[in-house]
Amino acid sequence: MAYNSKLADRVRAFLETKSKVKFEERKMFGGLAFMVQGKMCVNVSNNNLMCRFDSGLQAEVSKRKGFRTMIMKGRIYNGYCYVNEDGYNTQTDFEYWINLCLNFNDKAHASKNKKNKHTTTNEVA
């Protein structure tokens, strides 16, 4: 599955505005993942954002425009969702989703480290 490069550029540009946020880009889940502190923060998959957030906010977040529950191999993943263009079309909505992911990142657990040959590192001073 391809990913929307303009949406990826938008995510990258927003992350670059955040002071002290260091991120890497990796091809994952059929798209482009933005890794913060070695953890998947947000992913661009096709024309969707795939967001990782505090699962305690699932009920609240699920009411937002563009939200779709993440289901893989028949399993529902609370704390993850897809957001279609209707949900991130405005800058305010876009920033909501990315900030939601960033706010959870410090609490998120990292998966086992695996080297990926498709990694790009971006550091913002």
pLDDT digits (tens, 9 = 90+) for 56-95: 999 999 999 999 999 989 999 999 999 999 999 999 999 9
Number of domains the chain contains = 1
In a domain, 122, yes or no: no
In a domain, 44, yes or no: yes
State mean pLDDT over 29-52: 94
Could you give the 3-state DSSP secondary structure of residue 91?
helix
Q: What tokens were used for 115?
A: 């080297």
Q: Are 81 and 61 in contact (CB under 8 A)?
A: yes
CATH at 101: 3.30.1460.30
In a domain, 21, yes or no: yes
Q: Domain residues for 22?
A: 5-110
In a domain, 121, yes or no: no
pTM of the model: 0.85
CA–CA separation, 75 vs 77, rounded Å? 6
CA 78 from chain center: how many Å? 14
In a domain, 116, yes or no: no
With bands split at pLDDT 50, 70 and 90, how would you rate the model's confidence at 118?
A: very low
In a domain, 117, yes or no: no
Q: How many CA atoms lie within 13 A of 96 on its CB side?
A: 14
In a domain, 125, yes or no: no
**Higher per-residue confidence, 48 vs 1:** 48
In a domain, 96, yes or no: yes
